[in-house]
Amino acid sequence: MYLLFFSLGGITLYTINGGKKSENKFKAAAAIFHGVGLLLLLVAGFGLMKFRGISHSALPVWVILKIVIWLAFGGLLAMASKKEKFAKILWFVFPVLGLFAAYLAFYQPF
């Protein structure tokens, strides 16, 4: 989770401060950390499903929502690196999505 949020936060701050994607020397490293973080979260999530005995055939709503959040985190890196306006909004969206994903995992409300 740290890899994901460090890469998202770094790219977002870089863009907010006027950095251009083409000038970013560390964009490859940030993308690698982002991808590895997403992969680790996916593997850990399916491990949690196995540990809790959740079937892959009939996924509960909270699992589907977590997968949607995971996909959003995957795609929003591109938006965060494009324009300063998007990056400013995403600076607040990323923690909210992370907290909502944690809430879904701990409390399983649906």
- pLDDT tens-place string over residues 26-74: 889 999 999 999 999 999 998 988 898 888 788 899 999 999 999 999 9
Report the alpha-carbon distance of residue 59 to residue 69 in Å, rounded.
Answer: 15
For residue 102, how many C-alpha atoms fall within 13 Å in the half-sphere facing its CB?
Answer: 7
| pLDDT surpasses 90 at 87 | yes
Report the alpha-carbon distance of residue 102 to residue 104 in Å, rounded.
Answer: 5
For residue 58, how many C-alpha atoms fall within 13 Å in the half-sphere facing its CB?
Answer: 1
pTM summary value: 0.86
| pLDDT confidence of residue 59 | 87
Residue 44 DSSP symbol: H
Q: pLDDT-derived band of residue 20, with 50, 70 and 90 as boundaries? A: confident
Cα 91 to Cα 40, 49, 69, 79, distances in angstroms: 22, 30, 16, 11
| pLDDT confidence of residue 58 | 84
